[in-house]
Amino acid sequence: MDDTASMRAVAGLVIPKIGAVVANPGRGIPWRLVDADGADFAGAFNWLNELHANGHPPTTLRAYAYDLLSWLRFLDVICVDWKQATRSEVRDWVRWHLENPNEQRRRMKESSRSNPGGVNAKTGKPYLPDSYARSTINRQLSALSGFYEYAIDADLGPMLNPVPQSRSDLARMRLGSGTTETRRNTKRAAYRQKVVQRTPRALSDTLYEEVFLALKCNRDRALIATAVSSGMRASELLSMRRGDLHAADCTADIVPKGGGGERVIVRISPSAFVWIARYLAERRPGPPGEPVWMTMRGTPRPLTYWALRRVLQRTNEIMEANLSMHDFRHTFCMRLAADENLTIVEMQELMRHASLDSTMVYLRANPTDLITKLEEHWNRPPIPVVARPAPGYSDSDLRVLFGGEV
């Protein structure tokens, strides 16, 4: 029998937006997955509760809920119950992601100005392709595998996990979802995509100055200066509060990624703190619990992630670049890695990495530095070769024959 006969035609398959992931503030789990009628999907509700009880942050719960929603929508189109899904459905779900464009790319304003899959001449960064990222597919498979493992243990109906698993998946399940495991080179499970680990790129001083000149207000200048001097992620920047700023030692209390909601102290450069002071001087005084970053138009509201992203999109449009907020964190980390006075443990602490593996990424050779060193190698004059006598010859005899010093 020809295996292609059982392959579904997934290219161009339209998946209706049935169901949704909705916020659930102040009532147990922060996110819920509901069906077309607004009722909770029972399996997802219990699973998200389990993840919430294990200490997973709200951002992880939201991402996993959307991953499961994508799977349920796909199964609805092909008329397969989630309890009866097999490896074939998982394979076709992955194929759908590989063969269809990512609609989120179409909604990104900078995509209309870019060449998908090309490279920006100013930053040297590739533009995002129209398709789904391979890392996204792998995360979705991990989330789906975890959901089915829970459903089997909770006796919700399925008899087996349809997602092929690698040895690292099995080890992580044995260790528990809350355990940090050192990465090992293990064979990829079926349908897991090969992801190329690119070396992070730091902004040059010239490019950073160009970005700074393109910013339109002191709030945006304070944001970028804080990000590049402290290495804060976007969520960490947005967690800053008025009462958590300490001008005496230029520090701030933030909620770090994966920190379980507990605040930690982060050092900010004095120059960045000056920009924060200038920005706050333009605002009315507020309570200590008020967010530092607020909207500039209309009634002041706390800045959201999407509004923060739009700040950089406007700058990209002016510069014809494709920078992201995480590029400023990469710049901070690369500067630390170039400092010979810092140990790798100190860099890990300053970068707020849970594992040394994440810190080691920044110790790789930078492509720009490699090009510079190669050009220096080509332009360096060759070392002259000095002729030396073979062993066994007498120095006095050679002086008689050739004269001078040997």
Element (H, E) at 20: strand 20-23
CA dihedral over 222, 223, 225, 227, signed as positive or negative: positive
**Tokens, residue 155:** 């006796």
d(CA 296, CA 223): 13
Cα separation values, 150 from 35, 68, 79, 85, 136, Å: 20, 13, 23, 15, 21
Q: If DSSP codes are grouped into helix, strand and coil, which group holds residue 40?
A: strand
Question: Beta-carbon neighbour count of residue 179 at 10 Å?
Answer: 9
Closest to 250 measured CA to CA, from 280, 232, 230, 224: 230
pLDDT at residue 181 in the model: 42
**Tokens, residue 240:** 């800053």
pLDDT tens per residue across span 348-368? 999 999 889 889 989 887 777
Report yes or no: 322 and 120 within 8 Å, Cβ to Cβ.
yes
pTM metric for this prediction: 0.77
CA dihedral over 110, 112, 117, 121, signed as positive or negative: negative
pLDDT at residue 106 in the model: 64
pLDDT at residue 112 in the model: 44
Cα separation values, 343 from 95, 165, 326, 337, 338, Å: 44, 37, 23, 9, 11
pLDDT tens, N- to C-terminus, the chain (406 residues): 445 446 788 888 999 999 999 988 777 789 999 998 889 988 899 999 999 998 888 888 999 999 999 999 999 999 999 999 999 999 999 999 999 988 776 655 444 455 666 888 888 888 888 888 899 999 999 999 999 999 999 999 888 999 998 655 555 544 444 444 444 455 788 899 988 877 788 899 999 999 999 999 999 999 999 999 999 999 999 999 999 999 999 999 999 987 767 889 999 999 999 999 999 999 999 999 999 999 988 889 999 999 999 999 999 999 999 999 999 999 999 999 989 999 999 999 999 998 898 899 898 877 777 888 888 889 988 887 766 777 877 777 777 777 665 4
Closest to 321 measured CA to CA, from 83, 122, 25: 122
Angle at 52 between CA 51 and CA 58, to 5 degrees: 105
Domain coordinates of the chain in residue numbers?
A: 3-175, 205-362
CATH superfamily of domain region 205-362: Intergrase catalytic core (1.10.443.10)
pLDDT at residue 111 in the model: 44
pLDDT tens per residue across span 376-402? 889 988 887 766 777 877 777 777 777
